[in-house]
Amino acid sequence: MRVLRSPLTARLLFPVAVLVFWLVSIELIQHVWPFAVDVLPRPSEVRDFIWDELRLDTFAPYNVFETFWISLKRLGIGWLIAMGLGTMIGLAMGMSKGANAFFNDWVVAVLAMPNLAWALFVSMAFGFGNTGPIIVVVLTGIPFVIINVREGVRNTPRELFDMSRSFRVSQSKTMRHVLLPSLMPFMFAAARYSFALGWKGLVVAEVFGGDDGAGWTMKFWYDAQRAHGVVGYAFFFMVFAIVFERFVFDTIAKRVFRWRPSLTEVEVVEEMFEAEAPTLAPAAQAGR
């Protein structure tokens, strides 16, 4: 009885509940109201589809592993550009009121623009290929990097700056030893957010302007009206996102924040994550 009451059982029970709900809905729709839906994917079809894909047996031009690898490469390049450019602009905005005034309205504007708009525009302006999706990744991720870096600069403890000035430490040394270390948690939050958001933007960009990649393949199955393909690929997406967000970033966080023994590393980033949310302008970090 104790086992049944533990939260872990609840967590394992959830997929079971989803499956049951799915099967019940299929029965209900088939017998009560067939016109409620156009196509009805069945769990067995989806399971077969997923198994086939994993065995590299697919109708799509590329199999699931190649597809996600193509998308990952684009995401990586765009993310690096966003981090580099964003950090420079963020530093400038944090250190100078003029720079802040210059860029601020545009950062807000880019932040609030839906991925769809970038994706459609870029697909028309740049056609197929890698450029379009990479540009969308940069545009989606850069506002977050800028905002986080700017907050990081503003949140550096003033006393350290005063101290380095009184000890006549040079500008470059001050930046390296005072600014950069206290910027680390913010950079980490920036990296994590921009990666997650960039991924979402990339997928939309690939749907409209690509001939390969995860987003395009999803659209491939949608155009082929194979509901089990669409749901199956959605499953791959969820697994991919969970693997990357939870495992990769958490392990990196543990190593980067070894020097902070008081809090666990994950807590530091989670703190930043949570703390940023109320103060930041709209997100989507989540679902954008």
Partner 1 sequence: MTATATADEGLTEPRITAEDIVRRNRRRDRTVIWFWRIMGYVTVLGVWQYASGRWMREELLPSPTKVLSTFREIWAEGDMPSAFQATLSRIAVGFALSFVVGLAVGILMQNRWLEGFFKDAVLIGITTPGLIWALITAIIFGNRMAGPLIAVVLTTFALITVNVHEGIKALPKDLIDMSKAFRVGVVKRNRQIVIPHLAPYIFTGVRFGFSIAWKIVVLTEVFASSTGIGFEMRVAQQLFQLDVFLTWILAFYVLALFLEKVVLEQIERHFFRWRRGLTAA
Interacting positions 224-263 with partner 1 (CB under 8 A)? 225, 227, 230-231, 234, 237-238, 241-242, 245
132/183 with CB nearer partner 1: 132
Cα radius of gyration rounded to whole Å, the chain: 23
From the list 65-73, 169-177, 214-222, 247-255, the region that binds partner 1 by CB under 8 A is 214-222
Interacting positions 178-207 with partner 1 (CB under 8 A)? 196, 199-200, 203-204, 207
The C-alpha angle with vertex 246 and arms to 230 and 253, in degrees rounded to 5, equals 150
Among 116, 178, 252, 256, binds partner 1 (CB under 8 A): 116
Among 189, 218, 253, 268, binds partner 1 (CB under 8 A): 218
30/176 with CB nearer partner 1: 30
Binding flag, residue 88, partner 1 (CB under 8 A): no
Binding flag, residue 123, partner 1 (CB under 8 A): yes
Pattern 263-282, binding to partner 1, x per CB under 8 A?
-----------x--xx---x
CB 258 to partner 1: min, Å: 26
- CB distance 189 to 272 below 8 Å: yes
Give residues in contact with partner 1 (CB under 8 A): 5-11, 13-15, 17, 36-41, 97-106, 109, 112-117, 120-121, 123-125, 196, 199-200, 203-204, 207-208, 215, 218-219, 222, 225, 227, 230-231, 234, 237-238, 241-242, 245, 274, 277-278, 282-284, 286-288
